Amino acid sequence: MPSVSFESVTKRFENGATAVDDLSLEIHDGEFMILVGSSGCGKTTALRMIAGLERPTRGAIRIGEQVVNEVSAKDRDIAMVFQNYALYPHMSVARNLGYPLRQRRVARAEVDRRVSEVAKMLGLDELLKRRPAQLSGGQRQRVAMGRALVREPEVFLLDEPLSNLDAKLRVQMRAELKRLHARLGITTIYVTHDQVEAMTLGHRIAVMSEGRLQQIGAPQAVYDTPRNVFVAGFIGSPPMNLLRGRVHQGHVRAGDLELECAAPDGEVIVGLRPEALKRIGAEGPGLELEVAVVEPMGDEVIVHGRIAAELAARPAEAAVRSSDEPLLLADEEESTAMIARLDPQDRPQEGSSVRLGIDPAAVHLFDAGTGERIETRRSEPVYAATKEQ
């Protein structure tokens, strides 16, 4: 199995939109790589360039050692599963599965053998005579997978293959995909905007935004140390809470929250994962959360609320304003939406307020100007404290 690499690849469309901007990325031999990002971030365009459906404006794409920019789609040894499956409606399942082989003039006996092999692997044996219109969503998805696998391609491309399935089937197919990859070891590139797929499926994930690669790494590593505010907000569900704050002489302050940190002075964005918040008693340092909505999930409770997050710089800003000018941003500045993930026994009442303590190891700091991560020395004692202390 070959590796796949992007070398400073840029794709600009005729209408001037830049879909992929200077992307450099190497997908190793046999790796399961996830391209993740919100819609329009260029992940699908990147995938289509590997497939040969789009031509890069600049840069090179390699499959193995070969630069494939000028190689047509049919001559790259790749297979792709489309979001809407793209099964040929006028062919039976068997003919759909065998199509890529017939196009490559594989002998009929061999086509039949491999079609039945793939059909057995994906549980499609009973459906071989049906047309795509007679299949359920999950079955169509499996046929699309089968059509891609039957050729035993060198690179396997998947464009949001599970997004049209219902939740239960998605969980099932996710596990199946993982099993298939473990068994076949094909270099796989998987595009998704789904958090869970991104975290669970791949060896590494590449987070993209506005055509640029934001971060690449093992899912857990990306989750634990997001490189910038975008990644921090994007990876993780519910998303990380991001508060505006300020570092002053080794202390970061965001509203009520004050923490010791080893970051240089300046405006920062403080990131707190919902699970870093724990309910604590009235005593001890913590944050006051006004509970708005409680979502019991069974094993956990997602609590949406607001905290008083007055900005350190606010008094100065307020002084500049003339008295009759309405404080348009007052609401946003005086309180900030916050999501916490609590144990079911800690479930608060809607409309009440709870005190939340913070796991100090889980505080992330980002530069307010650039959005880049600020490394804080974790060995230093970091603690949560109220402003009064």
Partner 1 sequence: MATIASLKDDTFLAIDDPPPARRRRLPFSPWHLVLAPVAVVMLVPLVWMVILSLETKSEAANFPPVLFPSGLHFGNYVTTWNSVPFGDFFLNSLAYSAATVAGNLLFCSLAAYAFARLKFFGRDVLFVVLLATLMVPYQVLLIPTFLIVKDIGMVNSVGGLIMPNLCSAFGIFMLRQFFRTLPVELEEAARIDGTSRLGILFKIVLPLSLPALATLAIIQFMWSWNDFLWPLIIINSATRDPLQLGLATLQGAHYTEWNLLMAGTVMSQIPMLAVFLIAQRWFIRSIAFTGMK
120 is an interface residue for partner 1 by CB under 8 A: no
CB of 4 to partner 1, least distance (A): 15
* Cβ atoms of 193 and 36 closer than 8 Å: yes
Q: Which two tokens stand for residue 381?
A: 């004692």
- CA 78, distance to chain mean position in Å, is 24
In the set 24, 60, 90, 113, which binds partner 1 (CB under 8 A)? 90
Please state, in angstroms and as integers, the Cα–Cα distance from residue 274 to each residue in 236, 285, 295, 351, 365, following that order. Answer: 9, 18, 13, 19, 15
Binding mask 127-156 for partner 1 (x = CB under 8 A): ------x-------------x---x-----
Please state, in angstroms and as integers, the Cα–Cα distance from residue 250 to each residue in 21, 247, 286, 375, following that order. Answer: 37, 7, 19, 13
71 is an interface residue for partner 1 by CB under 8 A: no
88 is an interface residue for partner 1 by CB under 8 A: yes
Nearer to partner 1, 147 or 355 (CB): 147
Tell me which residues in 48-67 interact with partner 1 (CB under 8 A): 51-53
In the set 79, 254, 277, 287, which binds partner 1 (CB under 8 A)? 79
Which span (47-55, 202-210, 249-257, 293-301) binds partner 1, by CB under 8 A?
Answer: 47-55
CA distance 382 to 81: 48
Which residues 6+ apart lie within 8 Å of 164 measured at CB? Answer: 83, 84, 85, 137, 141
CB of 143 to partner 1, least distance (A): 12
Nearer to partner 1, 51 or 339 (CB): 51
Least Cα distance to 142 among 109, 111, 160, 118 occurs for 118
CA distance 24 to 248: 37
Chain positions contacting partner 1, by CB under 8 A:
51-53, 72-74, 78-80, 82, 84, 86, 88-90, 99-100, 103-104, 133, 147, 151
